[in-house]
Amino acid sequence: MRNDKLSVQSMDFSVEIIQLVRELKLQKESVIANQIGRSGTSIGANIREAQYAHSKADFIAKLQIALKEANETGYWLELLFRTGYLQEEKYKFLDSACTGLRVMLIASINTAKGNNSR
């Protein structure tokens, strides 16, 4: 188990996403459930892959993929909220967690690049 903040929070987020997917499938919603399941769990998987990157460029590329997946997941969360599949409280919680991951990923990418711009 990884103990760095990004790894821990991405794993916690993945667990929340899997629980959400279970709930959506009980509601007979499988199209978006499958999409958010893939993108939401891919964030942590790419962060984990980055930890054993072959080079600095590979490390940055994996984190950028994780960032893209986090952005996509934010889209699916908003869509689920706007279509009534996700209640406001749960949406705010998951969206905040997803935003937090994006912020940490951007900071990590900028640090790895050695600058403060995106």
Give the start-to-end residue ranges of the domains of the chain.
Answer: 5-113
Contacts of 17 (CB under 8 A, 6+ apart): 36, 37, 40, 41, 73, 94
Structure confidence at residue 115 (pLDDT): 59
CA-closest candidate to residue 15, choices 27, 28, 29, 1: 1
Average pLDDT over residues 48-74: 97
Fold assignment, 5-113: de novo design (two linked rop proteins) (1.20.1440)
pLDDT of residue 37 exceeding 90, the answer is yes
Structure confidence at residue 79 (pLDDT): 97
CA-closest candidate to residue 112, choices 54, 59, 47, 52: 59
Six-digit token string for 62: 């994996």
Global pTM? Answer: 0.91
Query: Tell me: the pLDDT tens digits for 90-114?
Result: 999 999 999 999 999 999 999 999 9
**Rounded percentage of the chain residues whose pLDDT exceeds 70:** 94
